[in-house]
């Protein structure tokens, strides 16, 4: 899956839509990053009980909504009725948990590119990967090209799927073979190259705090894209780009702007 093509997407992404400047993973957040000129975002997706992909980070509803319990135990209708804005600030009261379809419709209408993280649900990792990838492929059907999960065939419009879950990535590959995939890791493992190859991933996504310049050079020399999360210090962002890192996401969209790279 190595390819040596330059990263074809925005190089600075607004983490969870707008970092910490608006309620994460909402349309309000995405609009906030757009106002700062961002053309790329990272968002998180899970499945409701009735298997509708929804955009929310946590396994449970409590932290970012007025709901209770696991996302996977609530129907899409129940999730749509929740307030995902008030926890952040009263001006965001009533902001909903968006469906993946709603986020993609907004982003495609405004030319915003998406790194779509598939979250792991206990006991259901592969199924979430399958349904989220299939839904994404349907929402971007007109933008996909055969063999578009790597190299020259990758569409600049199509999202990059990423996940910490190997099972999710395998299922995503089977369900949507033309969407590119990235493997998320907390640190670069010794067998990273074999793992990327086995998963058919074009990109490695690593916690920047665990990355060394030698690892960055090796990943790039092998022809993979290299992405870092979540970088909030401009000096560190500059250093990572100098190491050859292709792209990163940030919570400090006010300090690390869309054209920082």
Among 228, 190, 223, 224, smallest CA distance to 211 is for 228
24 binds ligand G3P (CB under 6 A): no
Nearest residue to ligand G3P, by Cβ distance, number only = 229
- Six-digit token pair at 112? 């915003």
Partner touching 2 among Mg ion, ligand G3P, none, CB below 5 to 8 Å by kind = none
24 binds Mg ion (CB under 5 A): no
- Six-digit token pair at 52? 């509708």
Residue nearer to ligand G3P on the CB measure, 58 or 153 = 58
Would you give the binding string for ligand G3P spanning residues 55-94, x where CB under 6 A is met?
--x-------------------------------------
Q: Which of 95, 117, 178, 246 binds ligand G3P (CB under 6 A)?
A: 117
Within 56-161, residue ranges assigned H as helices are 76-80, 100-110, 125-139
Beta-bridge partners for 114: 41
42 binds ligand G3P (CB under 6 A): yes
Helix and strand element counts for the chain (H, E): 8, 9
Please say if 205 is a catalytic residue: no
| Residue 113, φ and ψ in degrees, nearest 5 | -90, 150
Q: Which of 113, 229, 241, 243 binds ligand G3P (CB under 6 A)?
A: 229
Is the Cβ–Cβ distance between 215 and 243 less than 8 Å?
A: no
Partner touching 229 among Mg ion, ligand G3P, none, CB below 5 to 8 Å by kind = ligand G3P
163: DSSP letter: E
From the number of C-beta atoms within 10 Å of its C-beta (0-12, 13-18, 19+), residue 212 rates as exposed
Please say if 57 is a catalytic residue: yes
Residue nearer to ligand G3P on the CB measure, 58 or 197 = 58
Among 157, 197, 149, smallest CA distance to 173 is for 149
Residue nearer to ligand G3P on the CB measure, 1 or 43 = 43
Give the residues lining the site for Mg ion (CB under 5 A): 44, 117
Q: Which residues are catalytic?
A: 15, 57
């Amino acid at each position: 899956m190595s390819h040596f093509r330059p990263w074809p997407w925005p190089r600075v992404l607004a983490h969870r839509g707008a970092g910490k400047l608006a309620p994460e993973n909402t349309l309000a957040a995405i609009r906030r990053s757009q106002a700062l000129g961002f053309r790329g975002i990272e968002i998180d997706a899970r499945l409701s009980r009735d298997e509708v992909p929804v955009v929310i980070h946590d396994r449970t509803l409590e932290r970012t909504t007025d709901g209770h319990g696991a996302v996977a135990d609530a129907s899409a209708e129940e999730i749509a009725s929740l307030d995902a804005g008030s926890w952040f600030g009263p001006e965001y009261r009533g902001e909903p948990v968006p469906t993946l379809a709603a986020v993609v419709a907004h982003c495609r209408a405004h030319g915003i590119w998406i790194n779509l993280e598939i979250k792991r649900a206990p006991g259901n990792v592969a199924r979430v990967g399958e349904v989220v990838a299939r839904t994404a492929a349907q929402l971007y059907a007109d933008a996909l090209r055969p063999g578009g999960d790597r190299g020259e065939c990758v569409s600049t419009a199509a999202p990059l799927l990423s996940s910490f879950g190997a099972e999710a990535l395998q299922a995503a590959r089977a369900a949507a073979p033309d969407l590119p995939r990235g493997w998320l890791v907390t640190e670069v493992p010794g067998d990273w190259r074999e793992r990327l190859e086995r998963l058919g991933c074009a990109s490695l996504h690593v916690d920047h705090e665990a990355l060394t310049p030698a690892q960055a050079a090796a990943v790039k020399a092998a022809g993979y894209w290299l992405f870092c999360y979540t970088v909030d210090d401009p000096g560190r962002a500059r250093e990572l780009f100098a190491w050859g890192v292709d792209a990163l996401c940030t919570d400090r969209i006010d300090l690390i702007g869309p054209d920082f790279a």
